[in-house]
A = this chain, B = another copy of it.
């Protein structure tokens, strides 16, 4: 007998028919003599509709109240699934975040889990109940409802799996696993059977949207085996596990791309102490996350400073930096929205040289200009012109031997 945590995303519970399919899958797992805890997202689109409603009331709706509002989405699906399971004569019951003991800090809209009081769930599953938990939500120590941010149900699932010492955390989604590249643009992309937490962390932060990045960090920290798979098929998906669990021995595991970035350059910045703080502090205050930063030193003691930010915040960031440039007497502010970041990721990179030059050569051969480069231990990212994204992904996928056999 295993203890299995299953998380179903918004498209998997989008209507009553799909909820019924989820119930059948849960029941089947239970009938195979497993204990089952289910974590649910809201129905696809519901959270966005609630946010739209709140935004009609105020541009920046009160964060505490927004969380109370958004929490209804997962409450609804949890009740509906438990109801469906009961109708099928399974001993199920729903639980909200606070009932499941998900204690968070008070950062409404983006709360961090402090603690999971697992006793109550454990007691219920020991009596062979199926526990259905509303994902995405928790409460602070004062009992105020909090939510964990976009994709937070993944984090709920991994955290609860960890607290329950579950044998596995299955993440059911509308794709059937993690791919070596986005199959929509690279038809030779292969499904990956096993991938390490670190690779997954890099992929998540580089635009592969299958898992919320925080959930992967959590899984890594507490060594929770995660199985990403489709709720619409019976096929095995991708196991996300710790590195020593027998990885494929490829140098590069995947090619990712991210078109949601934009680039800003400040030219001829005086290279004085404190100048970087002046450039980046106002962005942080505006809640704009800067990703890549590079600095080219000019001979005359000035530098050009270039960084990337989310495309959606390009306009705000440009306005902020124009003021900054005036203040610090930079020459100019240049912006470019037509960029993309392509990356290669793989734990094998640590023991192989030549990955970077292979990447640069491969792009050069196609006359794709590299605007920015950034590297970590297990990835190399290049910023290129957006129009070359698909081409770059495909040629890198081939160059690093990832193409599936025909």
A: residues with CB less than 8 A from B are 16, 20, 50, 53-54, 56-58, 61-62, 64-66, 68-69, 71-72, 75-76, 78-80, 82-84, 86-87, 93-94, 96, 99, 143, 145
Report whether B65 and A83 are in contact in the complex, using a CB–CB cutoff of 8 Å: yes
Report whether B75 and A62 are in contact in the complex, using a CB–CB cutoff of 8 Å: no
Q: Which of B57, B72, B145 contacts A76 (CB 8 A)?
A: B72
Report whether A143 and B99 are in contact in the complex, using a CB–CB cutoff of 8 Å: yes
Given A99-B143, A143-B99, verify A57-B83 contact (CB < 8 Å): yes
Report whether A62 and B76 are in contact in the complex, using a CB–CB cutoff of 8 Å: no
Q: Can you name 28 A-B pairs with beta carbons within 8 Å?
A: A16-B57, A20-B57, A50-B76, A53-B80, A54-B83, A57-B80, A57-B84, A58-B83, A58-B84, A58-B86, A58-B87, A61-B83, A61-B86, A62-B86, A64-B82, A65-B79, A65-B82, A65-B83, A65-B94, A66-B79, A66-B83, A68-B75, A68-B79, A68-B94, A68-B96, A69-B75, A72-B75, A75-B75
Give the docked Cα–Cα distance between A99 and B65 (Å). 14
Q: Report the copy number of this chain in the oligomer.
A: 2
Main secondary structure of the interface of A (DSSP, over half): helix
Most buried by B among A57, A66, A84: A57
Output the nearest chain B residue to A68 by Cβ-Cβ distance.
Answer: B79
Give the docked Cα–Cα distance between A80 and B94 (Å). 25
Chain B residues with CB under 8 Å of A145's CB are 96
Give the docked Cα–Cα distance between A99 and B64 (Å). 14
Chain B residues with CB under 8 Å of A83's CB are 54, 57-58, 61-62, 65-66, 69
Chain B residues with CB under 8 Å of A94's CB are 64-65, 68
Most buried by B among A56, A58, A72: A72
Report whether B93 and A57 are in contact in the complex, using a CB–CB cutoff of 8 Å: no
Chain B residues with CB under 8 Å of A69's CB are 75-76, 79-80, 83
Output the nearest chain B residue to A67 by Cβ-Cβ distance.
Answer: B79
Report whether B87 and A16 are in contact in the complex, using a CB–CB cutoff of 8 Å: no
Most buried by B among A50, A58, A68: A68
Given A57-B84, A57-B87, verify A93-B64 contact (CB < 8 Å): yes
